[in-house]
Amino acid sequence: MGLPLISVYLFALLIGLCLGSFLNVVITRLPVMLMRGWRNEARASLELTEEPSPRFNLTTPGSMCPRCEHSIAWHDNLPLVGWLKRKGKCAHCKTPISAQYPIVELMGGLLAVVVVVLHGATLSALFIYVACLTLLALAVIDLRTYLLPDVLTLPLLWAGFVYQLLFQPLLLSSSVIGAMAGYLVLWSFYWMFKLITGKEGMGFGDFKLLAALGAWVGWSLLPLLLLLSAGIGAIVGVAAQALSPRLRGQPLPFGPFLALAGWICLLVGNELMALYTSLLY
């Protein structure tokens, strides 16, 4: 392996770590921003006076400890380095800081390297990497809040169409069918489950996420994507309830498993299908 290629991978890793750091901001702040917006809309519809609140978005206020609200120094905000340097604790109040932060940063870096290894340093690879980052954000937000925000799933859907139009125009029709089929499959499952049990088996955000993934991978990979997500979800669900009795009977978000299956299909889906076909015939 030549030095230039190693340099490309290192550069991809560093950029990915930085984007993973920003992704943590999106993951922690976007649900709060949405909740505040919904609350203000509700108060406006009821003709109530809007409650004054400090400005809060992805850039304001600056990074701070969620416990003591002490500002985090720039050198403690460096991806991975800051968390490791402080041994996962706030420099001011010594409160443990969630392992989510270094994990998401590391995932951002590793995904960047994997995408470059598989697809090269190309514009199409950049599209795929942004899709992978969006799936990472959606997975963690769903784990934390049971939300799959439209502000992420709908752009992901349209980006899938744009990707096919730019790089695989002959597969655009497969992309459109994949989006429609993805939505309808989970929508149908939702209503069948509700009619049989009287309960809601999943949220509408799951429909939109599978539609977005269908736009990216096309209808032909949807069966593989559903098989992977359902299989991984079943294994994790059974293991989690066996290891932690307090989780028994608790709802398990489906978004993270769709995201994981989406990564697999985006990165190596065609290769898996080719392998399956060769083994079958």
- Domain containing 66: what range? 1-114
Query: 154 and 252, same structural domain?
Result: yes
The answer to whether residues 95 and 132 belong to one domain is no
Q: How far apart are CA 249 and CA 241, in angstroms?
A: 8
pLDDT digits (tens, 9 = 90+) for 118-127: 999 999 999 9
57 and 181, same domain (yes or no)? no
Do 62 and 42 share a structural domain? yes
145 and 265 co-located in one domain? yes
Is 203 within 8 Å of 251 (Cβ atoms)? no
Q: Which of 114, 135, 157 is where one domain is finished?
A: 114
How big is the chain by its Cα radius of gyration, in Å?
21
First to last CA, the chain: 36
- Dihedral of CA atoms 208, 210, 216, 220 in degrees, nearest 10, equals -140
**192-250 pLDDT, tens digit each:** 988 988 888 788 999 999 999 999 999 999 999 999 999 999 898 888 777 777 767 67
Domain edge (last residue) among 80, 114, 148 = 114
**Widest CA span of the chain, in angstroms?**
68
Q: DSSP readout, 33-53? A: HHHHHHHHHHHHHTTPPPPP-
Same domain, 200 and 105: no
Query: Quick one: tokens of 212?
Result: 């977005």
**Domain count within the chain:** 2
Sign of CA dihedral 119, 220, 224, 147: positive
Dihedral over alpha carbons 101, 104, 106, 111 (to 10 degrees): -170
State whether the Cα torsion 218-220-226-227 is positive or negative. Answer: negative
Same domain, 91 and 136: no
- In this structure, are 139 and 81 located in the same domain? no
Statement to judge: residues 77 and 148 lie in one domain: no
Residues 7 and 47 in one domain: yes
Query: Does 158 lie in the same domain as 50?
Result: no
What is the sign, positive or negative, of the torsion defined by CA atoms of 216, 217, 219, 225?
A: negative
Per-residue pLDDT of the chain (281 residues; tens, 9 = 90+): 445 778 899 999 999 999 999 999 999 999 989 988 888 888 878 777 766 777 778 878 777 777 776 777 766 677 888 788 777 777 778 788 888 999 999 999 999 999 999 999 999 999 999 999 999 999 999 999 999 999 999 999 999 999 999 999 999 999 999 999 999 999 999 899 889 888 887 889 999 999 999 999 999 999 999 999 999 998 988 887 777 777 676 778 999 999 999 999 999 988 888 887 777 66
pLDDT, position 210: 97
- Same-domain status, 164 and 101: no
End of a domain among 68, 91, 114? 114
| The token pair that represents 248 in the structure block | 């028994």
How large a percentage of the chain has pLDDT more than 90? 56
What does pTM read for this prediction? Answer: 0.92
